Amino acid sequence: MAAGTAVLALFTWSLLALAFRRRTATGTRGVSLWIGWLGLAMPAVVLTVLLGYALILGERHLARPAPDVVTVEATGHQWYWSFRQPGAAGVIETRDILHIPAGRAIDVRIASADVIHSFWVPRLGGKMDAIPGQVNVLRIEAERPGIYEGQCAEFCGLNHATNRFRVVAHDTASWSAFQRGGGQ
């Protein structure tokens, strides 16, 4: 992703450099300089900075191999979400409540049991579609313990507005207790 962006940025800057090297007619140099700097160069710099920032943030949501990643399965239904994750005594299944440890990366494997849904937790960033017959992976991370609201962000039928869920981010002690208690 970053390599493709670098190639496009290099190409764009090369075109800008060629445009500024062209000779202009006498008397229009001042006008073309203003147009060049204010109309081309300044927006190009601003857009380059914004693109770089977006790429850095976007990389955080890509599910890449990393140590200490928790994997959770999220399945969208009409009109609820079910979650499955490993626990100390086996698989923990919950409905409309996703439990995660705070401060650790979580790979959410998103699927759908019926129609297209979209898994979205605004405060944790990222949104990913849940498509029947396909599994998509989204990486999220809650920096601190708390309760985060999530919802389906794809119209999935008449009761779409009720298709909400909560993400409970636990501190280390309560996460261990949750894992040992099997989700109770």
Q: What structural domains does the chain harbor? A: 2-60 (no CATH), 70-180 (2.60.40.420)
Percent of the chain with pLDDT over 70: 86
Q: Is 80 exceeded by the pLDDT of residue 58? A: no
Which residues touch 84 (CB under 8 Å, ≥6 apart)?
Answer: 72, 73, 75, 91, 92, 93
Confidence of residue 12 (pLDDT cuts 50, 70, 90): confident
Least reliable range by pLDDT among 52-61, 135-144, 150-159:
52-61
Distance CA 138, CA 176 (A): 23
pTM summary value: 0.69
